[in-house]
Structure 1
């Protein structure tokens, strides 16, 4: 209640009362001066107080009613500006304000806000055009980087899986010799061999997950995401709940950016969230594509993670989203899971 009394509408009402009471003060001073100095017969103290009292009783409710009615239009127009700015902050740059044709200061502000929205919309289109051009260059660079990527994978295989397989081979040979002589010790080594084999298998799965192509190879964003989810279902115990609009259509560069952002989000869930369920939605709104990803995992302090210099994954997702003119929102709290909302203009 007190918050509403501080609004601009009630400020105008208070200003009207200030004007009335100040005017009454001036009138009362004049009347008392006339009564005490000029002393006309028609002016008495009773008539002065009666006149002032009638003015206060009549003018106070009248001024409050008139100012309340007159400021209704002003309040509605200011609320319209607030809703419009909130709409722009959500990435809906195609929204426009209606003109009131009053040619006052607020109408001028409305025209300038419409110009600002148009400029933002044009800038988003320019960013998307640059992203398309960047995608073409990225495809050419992808071919040039194939040899380097193969060398890196060869090093990773040698450093991780190859060494573990070599250790497995050596330990299994030693275990064979101990089976008859020291069966209990051989049994313990067999358990170690099983653990090492499982670790090697997890390392190989991680490498295969990173081997997924950056480009969707023409299969489309939804098909690529469903394929990725099916692949993850075979490798982990997560339950996936998906809701994709079949009408979603975006350019190739946007598909690649969105796929990489979602891939990074799922990777974070697998590595850190310790979750049981993942919800993923992709909706086609009038002028934007909306994507929601949430999990029921452990959660974290989202503001601290975004400020943390080592949180490359989250920062990369946010940068990728902004690169194509979108908005990226992350909400998380310890013990309450994580929620990611992505909105990309068409």
Structure 2
């Protein structure tokens, strides 16, 4: 309620009421001064207070009406500016506003329109540079593959190989205590089962990174469909997938989006402990929306460092093609990633 009273419209109304109050005080002081100094017959105390009271009452309602009406145009124009700024912040660089008359607010609107043109031009430049970078990346694919194998070797040593060593030690301990301490052996076998499942999940997540860095000529929709189909055959996770047919998507943007989805699914397998995953790709006239959500254990965005490297990589890939990256997560409430990518219309592309 207090926030509403601080709006432009109520500030206009208050300014009219302040003006009314000041005018009333001036008239009252003027008539009382004449009455005290000259005491004319035609002027009495009753007449003064009747006139001022009537003026105050009538002018109060007139001030409310005039203030409300006169602020309507100002509020509408400011709301238009706010809507345009929100649209630009969400990546809708085609949004425009037309304001009349030619005053300070109209000039702000014109400058925001010019900012939208510059942002749109920068997105085109980013996507053009991403296309050029994609060609360069393909020529450097062998070096990247070697580096990726080295990273996977480190991950295998740090994660899976250590788990397998622990499994071996636990199995030997269970074997020795099987006859003399069957309850302890049973507990150790349960721990072995849990560790084996964890190692299996870790291995599947690492194998995701062995897939091609590029789509190898496949459309983005088909590449993601193949990736999820492969995971469905190997994981106890239910995938809910909805993807539109996509047009006018630069090849570099498709490669980046494929790797983003790949990285997101890898994080889900390794950390989320999810049973359901929702993947959606929707294309409108000038934007592509990507949503990846899971019902896993979630995490605190400011505290959990396990997935920070993967999230940083996804955000950098999104920004490299001129998009916006948003993530929401809380412990025990799952994780949700939303990506918005500007798409140039066919007649607007060079």
Q: Report which of the two structures shows the higher radius of gyration computed on alpha carbons.
A: 1
Structure 1 contact 281–292 (Cα < 8 Å) conserved: yes
> For residue 341 of structure 2, what is the aligned residue in structure 1?
344
Structure 1 contact 238–277 (Cα < 8 Å) conserved: yes
- Within 5 Å, give how 1:237-276 maps onto structure 2: 237-276=236-275
Q: Which runs of 5+ in 1 are unaligned?
A: 169-173
Q: Deviation string for 1:282-302 (max 9, x for gaps)? A: 001121100111111111122
SS at match of 1:328: strand
Change (3 A) 1:83 1:27: same
Q: Deviation string for 1:234-253 (max 9, x for gaps)? A: 22111001110013441111
Q: Normalised by the size of structure 2, how large is the TM-score? A: 0.83
> For residue 60 of structure 1, what is the aligned residue in structure 2?
60
Deviation at 1:165, TM superposition (A): 10
For 1:164 and 1:2, how far apart are their aligned partners in 2? 59
Instruction: Establish whether residue 36 from structure 1 lines up as the match of residue 36 from structure 2.
Output: yes
Change (3 A) 1:30 1:123: same
- Within 5 Å, give how 1:1-346 maps onto structure 2: 1-100=1-100, 102-146=101-145, 205-305=204-304, 308=305, 311-346=308-343
SS at match of 1:117: helix
For 1:163 and 1:72, how far apart are their aligned partners in 2? 69
CA RMSD between the two structures: 3.3
Deviation at 1:200, TM superposition (A): 7.9
> For residue 348 of structure 2, what is the aligned residue in structure 1?
none
SS at match of 2:140: helix
Q: Normalised by the size of structure 1, how large is the TM-score? A: 0.84
For 2:198 and 2:47, how far apart are their aligned partners in 1? 101
Deviates more, 1:148-157 or 1:331-340: 148-157
For 1:332 and 1:167, how far apart are their aligned partners in 2? 32
For 1:10 and 1:89, how far apart are their aligned partners in 2? 28
Q: Deviation string for 1:153-176 (max 9, x for gaps)? A: 6788899989999999xxxxx9xx
For 1:294 and 1:40, how far apart are their aligned partners in 2? 84
Structure 1 contact 248–283 (Cα < 8 Å) conserved: no
Deviation at 1:98, TM superposition (A): 2.0
Change (3 A) 1:125 1:57: same
For 1:157 and 1:10, how far apart are their aligned partners in 2? 65
Deviation at 1:205, TM superposition (A): 4.2
Q: Deviation string for 1:55-79 (max 9, x for gaps)? A: 0111110111011111111111111
For 1:221 and 1:260, how far apart are their aligned partners in 2? 10
SS at match of 1:87: helix
